[in-house]
Amino acid sequence: MKALIVAPAWIGDAVMAQTLFKRLRQYEPGLQLDALAPSWVVPVLQRMPEIGKVIDNPFLHGELSFAARYRLARQLAHSGYQRAYVLPNSLKSALIPFLASIPQRIGFTGEARYGLINHRHTLDEAALPQMVERFAQLAESPGSRLPRPLPLPRLSSSAEQQAETLASLGIQSPEKVAVFCPGAEYGSAKRWPARHFAILADELAQRDYAIWLLGSAKDKAIGDDIVGLAARPAVLKNLCGITSLTQAIDLIAASSFVVCNDSGLMHIAAALDRPLIAVY
């Protein structure tokens, strides 16, 4: 049995979707799960043992490109997928499995996707308040209760992968290291102030911690602010925009604990089972 996952376009949502993948593999241990995903979430899916092949989904948010979607769908039509799990709720996300003639197309009704989704779930927000619950519900028959407890997301990062990442970045592995993730998807309204991160960095420096700042290139400025405000800037490394997401996963896995805002890296830290403080 082969199934295709149409993955979310957000890193945090992709992490939370692993609960569905785990549940599907519990029900069918031999199930081959491949994922159709945008390039920026591919590193997350590659660290999930439940996922086999990851296929590039090149379409940007809001982009229809019907002819290109049709060509990709016809390529997938020869891959032998019996089922597709469409995790985003948009109409466009359901087009490729439909055009690929995948027999069972499973998802929430979403944007009036009648016909495109032929095994439709109706979302009860009160019964399923959490995103992980909504994803996991797709493993069940429409209308049935969601069995609990749910398996938690767990990304993999081996000691060898962590050592390779540290070597590639020229970083020594300290005995104690805190990771700060100072970025947030919606800007300053959801960010803990830089001066607070800097004060915490000073407290940790007195306890012999090294501090790595992780994030995307757009987070580099806030990272620079934190370093500039810290009393002992030498113990901080601003790696925002320097690492790949794959490297960030390994650095978080190698850390003692993580302090972050609401972000994709917050979900990654939780799925790596790191002690985590998320500031809201």
Is pLDDT of 3 > 90?
Answer: yes
Look at residue 158 and give its three-state secondary structure: coil
Strands 276-278 and 210-213: unpaired
Instruction: Supply the pLDDT for residue 41.
Output: 97
Instruction: Supply the pLDDT for residue 213.
Output: 98
Instruction: Supply the pLDDT for residue 15.
Output: 98
Q: What is the pTM of this model?
A: 0.94
Please, are residues 164 and 243 in contact by the beta-carbon 8 Å criterion? no
Report the distance separating Cα 32 and Cα 54, nearest Å: 12
Instruction: Supply the pLDDT for residue 187.
Output: 72
Q: Residue 144 corresponds to which tokens in the numbers above?
A: 């049935």
Report the distance separating Cα 127 and Cα 124, nearest Å: 5
Q: How confident is the model at residue 73 (pLDDT cuts 50, 70, 90)?
A: very high
Instruction: Supply the pLDDT for residue 64.
Output: 83
Instruction: Supply the pLDDT for residue 185.
Output: 79
Report the distance separating Cα 96 and Cα 34, nearest Å: 14
Is pLDDT of 188 > 90?
Answer: no
Report the distance separating Cα 59 and Cα 255, nearest Å: 34
